[in-house]
Structure 1
Amino acid sequence: MRVTEIIEKIKEGAYKNTFSMLYPQKTYEESAERYISILNKYMDSYGDGEVSLFSAPGRTELSGNHTDHNHGKVLAAAVDLDIVAVAGERDDNKILLRSAGYDSENVVNVDKLDPSKAIRGSSAALIEGIADYFKQNGYKIGGFNAYSESKVATGSGLSSSAAFEVVVGGIMSGLFNDGSVTPYELAVAGKYAENEYFGKPCGLMDQMASAVGGVVAIDFDESENGKAHIEKLDVDFTAHGYSLVIVNAGGSHADLTPEYASIPAEMKSVAKYFGKDALRYVNKDEFYKSISLLRKKVGDRAVLRAIHFFDENERVDSQREALKKGDIEAYFEGVEGSGNSSEYNLQNIYPCCSVSERSISLALTMAKKYGAKVVRVHGGGFAGTVQAYVPVTEKKDFIEKMENVFGKGCCFDLSIRPCGLFAVNA
């Protein structure tokens, strides 16, 4: 369908069911205005033509803080903030992609894919990496024009990079492979691109949650068949009377890379003591019997972080079962336990090198004072965001009070999105 034809269909109300599913907190008019703007921006750059629309959601981590990189277990969910991209095929093998808010155009030649020549930390590197993964795994690739616009703000803790990776993979799947690439493969392609081309040693949770959608329980034990196990759950927190609110505490992520890197490194130092490459494959009983020796070998913090890993895996299992039974109070017990373990054992609430940076600590304290049922650090930690479950009846007051402390727009009132990557006009 051509750009102008899609615009007319949107104006006619043809996407009411789609938009209400993707954006339950928005009116049709609000979503229509956004999509028409994106389509017009595409047309400004690349003209009218046959195009497809794709949406990939941001994600929120519900439990399993810092476990994926050691093949642990996580609970995560897709949310109703997303990246939308419109894309059309080109006759050559070049990919041209513009993004709202950025002046430069990403240009990639799919005939020249080489991780050693990638511009580390760039969007172009992610595009190149995904194309390379597709090529290596027998999928078709080609050139296309694209324009994207994201509501998953950078620094929001909702994984804007994973949403971008998934939507780029979705474009390649939709345009050149009849949409046949599975959500699992889209997630792995994103991780490959981020690891090998972008230069960031991420796990797989963010991409998996974005690609699959809904609430997902993911077990990253790949020892049996080389793949993580995924269970999709049907969860609606508002049906239990609670809103899921992410609060950006505004702390700086500058120079925190060593802090983030220390967590998987220290966990793996414990695993190495037992001759394993990840904590998942260490016997928990043997670990506890060896703590006295481990303290001398790897240090107390590494031991505490390993304790967090073992406890958090068990917590994910109990929370998963609680959600399946609809036992929200048992689930909230796990949320509180996860938050406490992150603070006392994992120790990712504030950076050890700064005596003044306590934004996460302040956000946790104020969220509790202002009515959150439970609250925990969200994502990587040290700075950034916290996750609060707030009674629906108190949400407005909670957000106003938190904004008085952390600034206008610091709160993201989220809904769980039931689907992952979505071909909007398929």
Structure 2
Amino acid sequence: MTTITHTQALGKARELYEAEFGPIPADARVLAIHAPGRSEISGNHTDHEGGHVIAGALDVSVDGIAVANGTNTVRIADEGYPTFSVELDDLDVREDEVGTSASLVRGMAHEIAAHGGIPVGFDFAFVCTVPSGGGLSSSAAVEAAYGRAMEALWDAPAVDPVTLAQMSQRTENNYYGKPCGLMDQTAVCLGGLSFMDFENARPATEKLALTFEDYGYSLVLVKVGADHTDLTHEYAATPAEMQAVAAELGHTRLCETDPADFDAAVPALREKLGDRAVLRAIHYWYENDLVDKRWAALKDGDIDAFLAYTRQSGASSAMYLQNVSPSGVDVREQHAMLALGLAEHILNGRGAVRIHGGGFGGSIQCFVPVELTAEFCQRMDAWLGEGSCRTYAITEDGASATWL
């Protein structure tokens, strides 16, 4: 798969801008916006329970050009999609916009205005190299891009990365209607490889400069051929069931509960909530511990331990969290499970594979020996379709806006 540079992306965005909105006036201030995609390296469905996560910003991104237009309207041109507009006179949630791109504009406008920005209209054209529906958080990248554009164009007080992430999460929860956790947005806004602790309302974070290739492995993500954007109900059931267990134990999230209380309540929990909710709670504690072990391994430079723990994580997601195949799926169509099986078949005990992000579709994550990477991608593409498999690099650049 061909990778375009940041400069090339901005050039394409400028071309799109002028095609949709006309030439940029010579005296106009032009703002360049960048927001990366992300990969969840460790911590599958732990963030919404106040747990721990490792995530990395990737070398795919939203890159765009924004210029104030002197009106009360935001116009958005997204390469490959129809241009749309949002009026800024009413920034409340609109039910007719739930699940649409317009909801993200309105939600971020509400957040930046509440932070002290003065809403004014602007035109924004961007290109997105983050694969849509592939589990790399294109929506979080778009939210962060809107936020950084509005922060600069509306003379808002500076927004730190974690606060911008919280704004983006509220937008996705309240305006778009998806009950996501905070991990996606935090990774996009921070950039780099980060450890995140979500126990408190404002997550604690720590960064580590690391390149997997330096340890002999490529970070490879494989699109499984099943878009997860239409599986919001499956995604939403995961935190709902975990939090139902927490509620039975007298708390809101699993991080607040005592595992000993859970052990004592298992029979009652099974009877009231069913086995899957109990299994998902077991996954939370198991996976959260594995996050800590993997972060320690990375800090120690122990790639073998990291990979061993990653394999354990993948097994937990499949067996306990059960977010590999949607419920009620036709047994002949298990896209993510098939991709995992094929990847394991090629690796034959080397590296590690696991479901990636929300699961149920999207992509799987593979740590592949560098010398095997070309063959691995060629064989996976032959099975799943050209362009399904590609390597990614961790990038230090988080969401940003720069005057040109």
Runs of 4+ aligned residues of structure 1 deviating over 4 Å after TM superposition are none
1:62 aligns with 2:67: no
Q: Percent identity?
A: 39
The separation in 2 between residues aligned to 1:273 and 1:238, in whole angstroms, is 45
The separation in 2 between residues aligned to 1:112 and 1:244, in whole angstroms, is 43
Deviations 1:197-236 (A, max 9, x none): 11111111111110101111111111xxx31111122121
1:348 maps to which residue?
Answer: 323
1:37 aligns with 2:12: yes
1:52 aligns with 2:27: no
Identify the range of structure 1 (399-408 vs 182-191) with the bigger mean alpha-carbon deviation: 182-191
TM-score normalised to the size of structure 2?
0.93
Asked if the contact 1:272–1:278 (Cα under 8 Å) also holds between the matched residues in 2, the reply is yes
Counterpart mapping for 1:74-113 below 5 A: 74-103=53-82, 105-113=83-91
The separation in 2 between residues aligned to 1:209 and 1:89, in whole angstroms, is 28
Give the drift of 1:78.
0.4
The separation in 2 between residues aligned to 1:264 and 1:57, in whole angstroms, is 25
Task: Specify every segment of 5 or more residues in structure 1 that has no aligned partner in the other structure, as ranges.
Answer: 1-24
2:246 maps to which residue?
Answer: 271
Q: 1:40 to 1:257 in 2, by over 3 A?
A: closer
Asked if the contact 1:91–1:143 (Cα under 8 Å) also holds between the matched residues in 2, the reply is yes
The separation in 2 between residues aligned to 1:35 and 1:255, in whole angstroms, is 30
Counterpart mapping for 1:8-407 below 5 A: 31-44=6-19, 45-48=21-24, 49-103=28-82, 105-117=83-95, 119-177=97-155, 180-222=158-200, 226-253=201-228, 256-354=231-329, 355-371=331-347, 373-407=351-385
The separation in 2 between residues aligned to 1:71 and 1:322, in whole angstroms, is 22
Give the drift of 1:256.
3.1
Asked if the contact 1:170–1:179 (Cα under 8 Å) also holds between the matched residues in 2, the reply is no
Identify the range of structure 1 (254-263 vs 63-72) with the bigger mean alpha-carbon deviation: 254-263
Asked if the contact 1:118–1:197 (Cα under 8 Å) also holds between the matched residues in 2, the reply is no
Give the drift of 1:252.
4.8
SS class of match (1:40): helix
Kindly provide the amino acid, as one letter, of the partner of residue 360 in structure 2: F
SS class of match (1:76): strand
Q: 1:200 to 1:421 in 2, by over 3 A?
A: same
Identify the range of structure 1 (307-316 vs 351-360) with the bigger mean alpha-carbon deviation: 351-360
Give the drift of 1:40.
2.1
Asked if the contact 1:351–1:357 (Cα under 8 Å) also holds between the matched residues in 2, the reply is no
Give the drift of 1:362.
1.1
Identify the range of structure 1 (51-60 vs 227-236) with the bigger mean alpha-carbon deviation: 227-236
Q: 1:141 to 1:184 in 2, by over 3 A?
A: farther
The CA RMSD measured in Å over matched residues stands at 1.8
Deviations 1:86-117 (A, max 9, x none): 001122222111110012x2211222112035
Q: 1:252 to 1:146 in 2, by over 3 A?
A: closer
Asked if the contact 1:376–1:386 (Cα under 8 Å) also holds between the matched residues in 2, the reply is yes
Give the drift of 1:253.
3.7
Identify the range of structure 1 (131-140 vs 149-158) with the bigger mean alpha-carbon deviation: 131-140
Identify the range of structure 1 (131-140 vs 407-416) with the bigger mean alpha-carbon deviation: 131-140
The separation in 1 between residues aligned to 2:70 and 2:157, in whole angstroms, is 20
Give the drift of 1:31.
4.9
The separation in 2 between residues aligned to 1:133 and 1:333, in whole angstroms, is 41
Deviations 1:260-297 (A, max 9, x none): 22211111111011111111111112212322332222
Asked if the contact 2:162–2:189 (Cα under 8 Å) also holds between the matched residues in 1, the reply is yes
Kindly provide the amino acid, as one letter, of the partner of residue 364 in structure 1: L
SS class of match (2:332): coil
1:16 maps to which residue?
Answer: none
The separation in 2 between residues aligned to 1:178 and 1:264, in whole angstroms, is 34
Asked if the contact 2:29–2:403 (Cα under 8 Å) also holds between the matched residues in 1, the reply is no
The separation in 2 between residues aligned to 1:137 and 1:331, in whole angstroms, is 40
Kindly provide the amino acid, as one letter, of the partner of residue 80 in structure 1: D
The separation in 2 between residues aligned to 1:140 and 1:241, in whole angstroms, is 49
Task: Specify every segment of 5 or more residues in structure 2 that has no aligned partner in the other structure, as ranges.
Answer: none
The separation in 2 between residues aligned to 1:243 and 1:313, in whole angstroms, is 24
Kindly provide the amino acid, as one letter, of the partner of residue 334 in structure 2: R
TM-score normalised to the size of structure 1?
0.89
Identify the range of structure 1 (31-40 vs 257-266) with the bigger mean alpha-carbon deviation: 31-40
Kindly provide the amino acid, as one letter, of the partner of residue 320 in structure 2: N
Q: 1:255 to 1:135 in 2, by over 3 A?
A: closer
Give the drift of 1:26.
5.5
1:3 maps to which residue?
Answer: none
The separation in 2 between residues aligned to 1:418 and 1:254, in whole angstroms, is 27
Deviations 1:123-157 (A, max 9, x none): 11100000101122333332211101000121121
Deviations 1:278-333 (A, max 9, x none): 11111112212322332222222111110100111111111111111111112112
Aligned length: 396
Q: 1:253 to 1:210 in 2, by over 3 A?
A: closer
SS class of match (1:290): helix
Give the drift of 1:121.
1.2
